[in-house]
Amino acid sequence: MFQLHEYQNTLVTRTRQAYLEGLKAPCVVAPCGAGKSVIISEIARLTTNKGNRVLFLVHRRELVDQIKNTFTLNRVDMELVEFGMVQTVVRRLEKTNKPSLIITDESHHGLATSYRKIYEHFEDVPRLGFTATPIRLNGSGLGDINDILIEEVDAEWLIENGFLSPYKYYAPKLIESDLLKVNNLSEFSSGSIDNAMKKTIYGDVVRHYQELAPGQQAICYCHSINASIFAKNEFLSQGIIAEHLDAKTPKLERDEVIRKFRNKEIQVLCNVDLISEGFDIPDCSTVIMLRPTKSLSLFIQQSMRGMRFKEGKTSIIIDHVDNVRRFGLPDMKRKWSLEAKKKTSSAAEISIKCCANCFAAYPSESEECPECGFKPEVKVMADYEVDKTATLEEVTKEDFKLDFREPADCKNMSELHELAANRGYKRGWAFHQGKLLGLIGSTK
Give the chain's count of helices (H) and strands (E).
14, 17
Q: Check: CB of residue 101 under 8 Å from CB of residue 122.
A: no
Identity of residue 15: T
Structure confidence at residue 40 (pLDDT): 95
Residue 358 burial class via C-beta count within 10 angstroms: exposed 0-12, middle 13-18, buried 19 and up: exposed
Superfamily of domain 6-155: P-loop containing nucleotide triphosphate hydrolases (3.40.50.300)
Superfamily of domain 165-327: P-loop containing nucleotide triphosphate hydrolases (3.40.50.300)
Whole-angstrom distance, CA of residue 191 vs CA of residue 99: 47
In terms of Cα–Cα distance, which of 179, 437, 221 is closest to 318?
A: 221
Q: Check: CB of residue 269 under 8 Å from CB of residue 261.
A: yes
Structure confidence at residue 346 (pLDDT): 34
Structure confidence at residue 188 (pLDDT): 46
Whole-angstrom distance, CA of residue 251 vs CA of residue 248: 9
Question: Quick one: DSSP state of residue 308?
Answer: B
Whole-angstrom distance, CA of residue 71 vs CA of residue 53: 14
Which residues make beta-bridge pairs with 244? 270
Structure confidence at residue 80 (pLDDT): 97
**pLDDT tens, the chain, 444 aa long:** 789 999 999 999 999 999 999 999 999 999 988 999 999 999 999 999 999 999 999 877 767 877 898 999 999 999 999 998 888 999 999 999 999 999 998 888 877 889 999 999 999 999 999 998 887 655 567 888 899 999 999 999 999 999 999 999 998 764 454 554 555 444 445 455 455 545 556 678 999 999 999 999 999 998 888 889 999 999 999 999 999 998 888 888 988 998 899 899 999 999 987 776 656 565 789 999 998 887 888 899 899 999 988 899 999 999 998 888 778 889 988 888 887 554 443 333 334 455 566 555 555 656 676 666 777 764 444 456 677 777 888 888 775 555 666 787 788 888 888 888 776 677 788 888 888 888 876 544
What residues does each domain of the chain span? 6-155, 165-327, 403-444
Question: Quick one: DSSP state of residue 182?
Answer: B
Same fold, 6-155 and 165-327: yes
Sequence-separated contacts (24+) of 16-23 with Cβ below 8 Å: 16/46, 18/148, 18/150, 19/126, 23/147, 23/148
Sequence-separated contacts (24+) of 361-364 with Cβ below 8 Å: none
Helix orientation angle between 413-423 and 427-437, rounded to the nearest 10 degrees: 140
